[in-house]
Each structure stands twice: as C-alpha cells, then as structure tokens.
Amino acid sequence: MAFIAKPVKLGAHTDKSKRKRVHVSADDAKLLNKKAKVDTTTSDLNAVKQKGTKRNAALIQDITVKWEKLRHPDTTAAHRTDIVHEILNQVQGRVADLAMSHTASRVIQACAKHGNEADRKALLAEAAPRVVDIAKSSYGHFLLCKLVSAATKAQFPEILKMFRGHIAQLLRHPCGAAVIDDLYNEATRKQQAAMAAELYGREYVLFSGEAKRLPELMKELPAAKQKAVLRNMAQHAIPIMEKALVDPPLVHRILAEYIAASPGTSVSEAVQLLSGPPLVRLVHTKEGAQVACAVIAYGTAKDRKKAIKGLAGQADSILKMAQDEFGHVVLLCILDTVDDTALLKKQIIPELQSNLCELSKSKSGRRIILQLLHPNHQKYVPLHLQQMAHPPPKPASGFKILEDQEQVGETLGGSKKDNELRRQEILGEGASSFAGLLCKACKLNAADMLRDPQACDVIVEVAQAGSSGKICCRMCGYTCLSTVSKVGKAC
C-alpha cells in the first residue's frame, strides 16, 4: 500500500503534522503519478510556448500595427508594397516561429497575399526547413495554404518538393490534411499520382519517376510485393479512417484503391470504420462515391444501418446527395442493396418524396426515380454509373494485411431479398406512398414536366406504369396514363 498526503485548505490548521493521510492502492498511486507527470509535461510545453511568445512580443506588437495599415481599404497599392517589405525585413529569420502564433500568423498571411512573387519565394525559403511543424500548427497551416494557392506554375514544383516524403504523415493530422488537400487540388495529374504513390511504400518516395495508379502497379508486381504495398497502405489508411479525416480527395482516391485491391478481411475492417457520419463526407467525388458504394455493398446489416443513419443525419443531406453528380449513385446503391425497406422508408424515402418535382427536373435526381420505375435502363442510368452503384462481389476469404494471415469466409455483403419485392416495398401502396405521391405530382404538374427535358422521361415512365406493368398505377390508384394523354393533347 502507498501513502499519499491529502492536502488541506490553508487556514487555521497549516501544520504539516495535522494533515490527514489516506490509504491509496499501488495501482491508484501509479495512476496519480502518471497523471501528475502528464500535467507537468503539458505545463512545460505551455511554458516554452509562452516563452517564445514573450521573446517576440515586441516584434509582434510592432508588425500588428503595420498590419492594420496594410489591410485598411484606403491604403494604396504602392503603400501596401512598402509595408509588406518593412514587415518582411523585420521578421526575417523568424517566419517559422511567427507563423505558429495566433496574431503574427495573420500578419505573415497578409504579406503573402499582398506581396509579390519574390516576397512569397522568400517566405517559402524560410518555411521550408520546418514545413511539417508549420503544417501541423493550427495557425501556421493557413500560411502554407495561402502560399500554395498563390504559387505560380514555376514555384509549384518547388513547393511540392518541400512536402515530398511527408504526405502520408500530414494526411493523418487535421491541419496537415488541409494543406495536402490544397496541394493536391493545385497539382497536375502526374503530380497527383506521385503524391498518392507515397502511400504505396518508401521506395516510391525515394525513387522519382512517372507514378502509376495502384491497379496498373499491382499487375506488374509479384504476389509478395503486392502484399507489401497493401500493408503500407493499410498502415496509413487505417489511422486516417479511425480519425475520420476523410475530407481530402486524395484520401478518397487512396481508400478507393485500397478497398478495390484488398482482400475481404481487410475490406470488412475498412467498412466498419467508415460506416456512420464520415460517409457523408465521401460522396461528392467519384472516388469517394466508389468508397461509399463499397461500404454499402460489402457491409453487414448493422454496418448499412449505421451508414444510412450517418448519411441522413444532417438536414437536407439526402436531397443534396440526390442532386449531386456522384452522390446520387450512392443512393442508387442503397435502394438496390439494402434489404431493410422499413429503415429506408424512415431515413431516405421521406426526403425524396417531399421533393419529387424538384428531383424530376434534376439531371442526377431523376435517375433515382427512374431506377425505381425502370431498373438498370442504360438510357436513364449509364453503364459506368451502374457498375459504380453495384461493386463486384468480393470473397470474405483472404489474408489479413497487417497480420499476414489467411482467413476463409463467404462473400461480403450481398442482398437476400428479391429485387422486385424490394422495389415494390419502396414504392409502397396507397395515396401517401412514394408511388402515390409520384403519380399525384405527375398529375398536378403534367404540362410543366412534359416541357422539361429531364422530367419528361419521368412522366412517360409513370404513364407506362413502370417496367413491370402498372406497378405504380395499381398501387396509387391514379389513372396516370389518361391524365398525361389529355395534357399532352392540350400542349
């Protein structure tokens, strides 16, 4: 047993001999000592930071006054240039430290904004030795984002070279990921491929050359080397998914390649990590939509439920997805894959059926309605989008990438319910069902929809009662064909 003195409040009894002693177990004593050590470390870091701020306090105060003049709307362009040069002369040699300060960082950013190409080149030269520290700083990363966005074509390769070898590390940090995101958006296709290749392995960082996408690379490598590449990707991708840092398009690309090339056991782990709120941040890019469709297709019923609740967790998120160029493909996958139609009617369908006219006139949104009326018709849903919405079956067997162990199992995901039965359950019965409200919308807006280049296909399919004959009219009770015919003649 360890004995720890319990401090008492200063007052009448300040004698050390009168302090109470309490009995604490050895484990509790170890925990308290560990906590005290962490508190001491944190206080030491804060002390160092405060010391650095105090050392530059006078300088920060001086350049802040000049910054106020710099950003004033009445300041002339010539005067701004003079102020920028004055500030840069004062902060020479201290840019890296000042960039990580709250106020000073904004001053340096203003210099990058209003300065010329030579000024930005000087800032980059000072930031280069500590680029990783600045990128991870909650204030400093804004300066790097500013320099990346303002860089010329001649400067950009030099900036990219500064981050070479640090891409994977920064993608695992919230602030660093924002810098890499801007860098990736400004890069060319070849440069983007080189950035992605850093997550394939160390050798792809050390040896420069034309980088290839993962599917092309895997075809050229032997089986042992393929496992090594996937192991490297897993070591970087899993922490990113655990921290839900899935916003950058580069992460979407890496996850799409990783899920497509990995065995079923590793894909199941990725599906579990991505099911939920992070999924909604993937659906706005092509690679991100591929990942989201894979999560739905390869997930268990529990994973799908978490994914759907995560997608529907924000206001108007389903409507925005339905009208998005790639987001609507994820909804197509959900409506064609998920067997729990009661969950769909609760989380997905209400927002769709409350905006049927708007969706009918949307190039992307109408595909969701047409897929229910006439499934997998290439006139309405192109073949490449159908392939994205229905990922190929993936066996659950395979080796665990990080453990390098073989496991055997059945095919991932899949659906047990008949497609036609699922479709009928989603369309529903009665005037308040999806089918009923769709027929009603067509009846009330027939003239307008017939003139619209997108909505006209919807009203034609409703009039024909879908691909399986009178499925809509039989369920909703409206005589859509006669209504549309009368309006068509009037038009």
Cβ pair 427, 372 in contact under 8 A = yes
Cβ pair 106, 72 in contact under 8 A = no
- Give per-10-residue mean pLDDT for the chain (491 aa): 46 44 49 47 46 72 91 90 93 91 91 91 92 94 94 90 92 95 93 91 72 85 89 93 94 95 89 91 94 94 92 84 94 94 92 91 93 91 94 75 53 85 89 89 90 90 68 48 44 41
For the question of whether the overall pTM of this predicted structure is more than 0.95, the answer is: no
Rounded to whole angstroms, the Cα distance separating 460 from 433 reads 19
Element (H, E) at 344: helix 341-347
Residue 425: predicted pLDDT: 92
- DSSP helix/strand/coil, 145: helix
Residue 491: predicted pLDDT: 41
Which bin fits 415, alpha (ψ -120 to 50), beta or left (φ > 0)?
beta
Element (H, E) at 373: helix 365-373
- DSSP helix/strand/coil, 139: coil
Residue 326: predicted pLDDT: 95
E runs forming strands in 278-375: none
Beta bridge partners of residue 105, listed in sequence order: none
Residue 57: predicted pLDDT: 83
Residue 313: predicted pLDDT: 77
> Tokens 């060319």, residue?
188
Cβ pair 174, 137 in contact under 8 A = no
Rounded to whole angstroms, the Cα distance separating 411 from 419 reads 18
Residue 216: predicted pLDDT: 87
* Residue of 209, 253, 207 whose CA lies nearest to 233: 253
Q: Residue 20 burial (CB < 10 Å; 0-12/13-18/19+)?
A: exposed
Rounded to whole angstroms, the Cα distance separating 365 from 382 reads 14
